[in-house]
Amino acid sequence: MSFEILGTGSAHPACRKTNDDIAQLVDTSDEWIRSRTGIESRYVCTTETLQDLALEAAQKALKMAKVQPKELDLILVATIRGDCITPSAACILQNALGASCPAFDLNAACSGFLYALDTADGWFCRNRAKKVLVVAAETMSRLLNYQDRTTCPLFGDGAGAVVLGQGDALLSIHLTAKGDPLTLRIDNTDGQSPFLKMDHPAEQYLHMSGQNTYRFAVSNLCRQLKLAAQEAGIDLKDLDWVLPHQANLRIIEGAQHRLPIPTEKYCINIQNWGNTSAAAVPILMDEFCRKGTFKPGDLLGLVVFGGGLTTGSAILRWTIDPKKIFDSEVSK
């Protein structure tokens, strides 16, 4: 016994910034960003906290699933950085929801959502849980160098959530990690210890090697999706939809050229969100779920990559029937 998805939710800040807005801060342009990334705009936090986004996404997912917070047996939050070092974002979310179950965070960068699904799978397999809430929430805008035109246009803020229940919809899941402290890195605070001796205090924003990231991403999107399909006992051509990490449209297109999957089967929303790290795939899933794109029995291929360097892929059978779940307001 593993799980099936009972409900999805997502949230974003009120403030939307276009490429032209970013061009007011750094030497770039709308054409430069679009042509290299496919991104047109992104949401950024102004007054919102990560917890605001996580709570809204969680509440939407719980509403769709028709599950009360008191029914939850576990809350997982995937995030690079919560609002606090401690308590965890998951514990703060548990308190806000009025739940009473175990709750903890995990950090696998952009692969965090898949790592959280795999963790949840373990709880279901051991009969430790009947209902699990998984939230991925990121405020990447707070971790960027707005003098670096190669990174600051790429990322946005948001949260995505799923409620999981007992079922057999997870056909396979595959995770990897290849320790690499240089390709993608965000340094932490050094604090104020009088005993610390550092010649060069850490700069607390994202550092990324674009070329190395691109090569790693394209090759691993293909490899990991193939492995997940093989473990599920299906052919890649059997997939109805592919939900790839929304990091860069060029990366997705690079994978499309190498895989025997029609381009119309790829779900894409990077143009409106940018890269929301761990939140990207659950946000994408919620958007296309609420459009009614997915039908019961559809096979979904999820594939991600991120700092670490980490990857994740999974094959899921969709079980939510939009005709039964959505009221007229939700289905718009």
Q: Which residues are catalytic?
A: 110, 245, 275
C-alpha span between 203 and 188 (Å, rounded): 8
Q: Which runs of E-coded beta strand occur in the chain? A: 2-11, 15-18, 41-44, 74-78, 103-106, 131-139, 157-167, 170-180, 184-186, 206-208, 241-244, 299-306, 308-317
Joined together, the tokens standing for residue 89 give: 């974002």
Please name the residues in contact with 276: beta carbons below 8 A apart, sequence gap of 6 or more: 138, 140, 155, 156, 157, 158, 160, 246, 283
CA angle 178, 179, 185 (to 5 degrees): 115
C-alpha span between 242 and 225 (Å, rounded): 9
